[in-house]
Structure 1
Amino acid sequence: MTRALLRADGIGVRFGGVHALRDASVSVGPGEICGLIGPNGAGKTTLFDVLSGMRRPDAGTVTYDGTDITRRSPVWRARHGIRRTFQRQQLFGQLTVTDNLVVAQEWRGGARSATRLRRERAAAVLHECGLDPLAGTYAGALPVGRARMVELARALADPPRGLLLDEPASGTTARERRELAAVIRHMADEEGCAVLLVEHDVSFVMELCSRVVVLDLGRVLAEGTAARVRSDPAVREAYLGSGTGAAEGATEARDVEP
């Protein structure tokens, strides 16, 4: 693999006496789609919080393009190309779909003509995501599956270098998952974006990701290709379980991880 764009090394996070993460490491390179899976409570969302700057780790470092950004804020990371979606939908419900994408670019400032360029960029991203018919719809009126795609589109409005996608397929139909996967592949293959994906839909992860990392009790249990992880006895015992392996295309329950 090429040098990692975004990397977490030896991450430790404690909540009182509970270790949410213990010496956990994960990396993702340009053009790569890496899956992060594990049981509820394994530490996946906590690791995303550390990577996105929302939580400072008790131990370990985060590097971005070779630079230590462990102490950098979420705003700094977002403005330098690290974008994130969340388990719970975070759209601006009282704004239209187009305006949700325009707002994501407003931090750049500029003259009045910049607004036109941002709306043009928003329209291009909506087209790429198949959302043209919803451009003028208020985001709060969208069904779950379409709202998930709008969240992804908003993350793409200001072109990212790294994408952290937290449960992007949750609540979506089979067709919506295919559309979502196509957009993610395009970002990795054509735009060179580094994508790290947390998802309980194991079949979605195994089909989409070139590499999979498994967390259990805050530690990295296994890492490798989908085939290698799927056949790992420790992974099957701790997570996939007898009869529910990824080879059978199982989908884990989509409970919110503490």
Structure 2
Amino acid sequence: MALLEVAGLTKRFGGFTAVDNVSFSVAEGEILGLLGPNGSGKSTTFNCIAGMLRPSSGSVKLAGEEIAGLTADATCRRGIGRTFQIPRPFRGLSLLENAALAAHYGASGHITREEALRRAREALRLAQLPEDPETTTQGLGAAGLKKLELARALATQPKLLLADESLGGLDAGEMRQAAEMLKRIRDERGITIVWVEHIMGVLLSVVDRVVVLDHGAVIFQGTPYEAQEDAKVAEVYLGPPEARAA
């Protein structure tokens, strides 16, 4: 059963079409990789799904409910959590407070402070970060900030997690750990994941299927193996054959 259905999604900025008639679906419990080089429309697609941008046209359905055009907070309360490419935590708050604030934001109704803290601790535990109330963002490197970004998204208790370039700024070992963490979250919590990346290597070992964008349009949908064998995908990432031969 499809948890997320995107059909004919289009986003224009004036005369520029950033997302052009994009359609794909994500099955419940699946990890889908949304791939493409920089500027291919991946993050704009995410922003339309998550309510950060209003689509120019098209449909976005979560568990059969039309959500295209809803605000980001309304989308979050319906069960979509997301991370951002550039983490921007509340520097004056502890890790626990950062995650607890996200828990309040994602709640469909009023929740108590105690419940928000419980959700926050669970999210920090899943992201392998300290749960104590004294730990601050000071001293967190790129990997730690990415984990906190993930914990804040998980604290909203999503059905669907949109992970936006979770490997950016990480070294090879940190990339592997981040990929394994997302897979474990899916396996242990049953959270469906759409993972946006332009780095193919590590992602392809984790995802069930991939959708590849180029210039805002879908150029490929299939398995990771099929993506690696596809001539059009290779051209997008490596350049035309004549350029590679040169």
Residue 242 of structure 1: CA displacement? 7.4
Q: 1:36 aligns with which of 24, 31, 34?
A: 34
CA distance in 2 between partners of 1:9 and 1:33 (Å): 19
Aligned to 1:40, what secondary structure does the other structure show?
coil
CA distance in 1 between partners of 2:130 and 2:144 (Å): 12
Residue 133 of structure 1: CA displacement? 7.3
2:89 corresponding residue in structure 1: 91
- More moved, 217-226 vs 69-78: 69-78
Mark the CA change 1:171 to 1:134 in structure 2 (over 3 Å): closer, same or farther.
Answer: farther
- More moved, 66-75 vs 120-129: 120-129
1:252 corresponding residue in structure 2: none
Residue 59 of structure 1: CA displacement? 1.7
- Structure 2 residue 12 is matched with structure 1 residue 20: no
What is the aligned residue count?
239
CA distance in 2 between partners of 1:110 and 1:68 (Å): 24
CA distance in 1 between partners of 2:26 and 2:181 (Å): 18
C-alpha contact (below 8 Å) 2:87/2:149 kept by paired residues? yes
Q: Deviations over 1:82-121 (max 9, x none)?
A: 011111112111111111111112244757xx32333233
CA distance in 1 between partners of 2:86 and 2:9 (Å): 24
TM-score (norm 2): 0.90
Aligned to 1:127, what secondary structure does the other structure show?
helix
CA distance in 2 between partners of 1:25 and 1:196 (Å): 14
- Structure 2 residue 215 is matched with structure 1 residue 238: no
Q: Which runs of 4+ in 1 moved over 6 A?
A: none
Letter in 1 for 2:156: D
CA distance in 2 between partners of 1:239 and 1:141 (Å): 35
% identical equivalent positions: 38
- Structure 2 residue 64 is matched with structure 1 residue 66: yes
C-alpha contact (below 8 Å) 1:61/1:68 kept by paired residues? yes
Q: 1:221 aligns with which of 176, 201, 219?
A: 219
CA distance in 1 between partners of 2:84 and 2:66 (Å): 24
CA distance in 2 between partners of 1:82 and 1:7 (Å): 13
In structure 1, runs of 5+ residues without a counterpart are 244-258
Alignment map for 1:95-106 (pairs within 5 Å): 95-106=93-104
Residue 142 of structure 1: CA displacement? 1.6
1:116 corresponding residue in structure 2: 114
Aligned to 1:138, what secondary structure does the other structure show?
coil
CA distance in 2 between partners of 1:38 and 1:190 (Å): 28
1:45 corresponding residue in structure 2: 43
Q: Deviations over 1:175-208 (max 9, x none)?
A: 3323322321122222221111111221121111
CA distance in 2 between partners of 1:133 and 1:59 (Å): 42
C-alpha contact (below 8 Å) 2:79/2:158 kept by paired residues? yes
2:244 corresponding residue in structure 1: none
- More moved, 51-60 vs 121-130: 121-130
CA distance in 1 between partners of 2:206 and 2:77 (Å): 27
1:136 corresponding residue in structure 2: 134
C-alpha contact (below 8 Å) 2:96/2:133 kept by paired residues? yes
C-alpha contact (below 8 Å) 2:103/2:152 kept by paired residues? no
C-alpha contact (below 8 Å) 1:87/1:166 kept by paired residues? yes
Aligned to 2:85, what secondary structure does the other structure show?
coil
Q: Deviations over 1:230-257 (max 9, x none)?
A: 10011111224479xxxxxxxxxxxxxx
CA distance in 2 between partners of 1:106 and 1:41 (Å): 33
Aligned to 2:19, what secondary structure does the other structure show?
strand
Residue 140 of structure 1: CA displacement? 5.0
- More moved, 169-178 vs 147-156: 169-178
In structure 2, runs of 5+ residues without a counterpart are 242-246
